[in-house]
Amino acid sequence: MEALTPDTLAWAKRIGLTPERVAFLAACPKFTVCGEHMKHKRPVSNNPNKYLMRSGQKWYFRVHSKTSRDTVIPLGFDLEQARKQRDSLLAELKSKKVAFTE
């Protein structure tokens, strides 16, 4: 824990913080700033059916865009075939993105 100096306590008083609150904030770990805290880390999903949606017996490829529109493409009834088609669609989208950004 960092020691509270008289300058720190004077600053805290000027902005309206109590010495107890300043001591608590000084005791907080440094990694709790935005971007490093566990709350802000994106969960990594190992789901083999990512981007696949099932409605009834049929599988669909679904991607949500930044313009708040979903792209839904029917892939058929077989899960393995749907995964292969999804992988080829994702590769095609990735190649278009790379070509667009270069």
Position 45 in a domain: no
Q: What average pLDDT does this structure show over 88-102?
A: 78
Decide which of 46 and 85 is more confident: 85
Sheet containing 52-55, strands listed edge to edge, beginning at the edge strand earlier in sequence: 52-55, 58-64, 70-76
N- to C-terminal Cα distance for the chain?
49
Instruction: Read off the tokens for 72.
Output: 């839904």
pLDDT range class, residue 1, cuts 50, 70, 90: very low
Under DSSP, is residue 34 helix (H, G, I), strand (E, B) or coil? coil
Query: Domain residues for 24?
Result: 6-40
Residue 1 lies in a domain: no
Verify that 60 and 96 share a domain, yes or no: yes
In a domain, 18, yes or no: yes
Gap between the Cα atoms of 9 and 2, Å rounded: 12
Judge whether 47 lies within some domain: no
CA distance linking residue 74 with residue 76, whole number of Å: 6
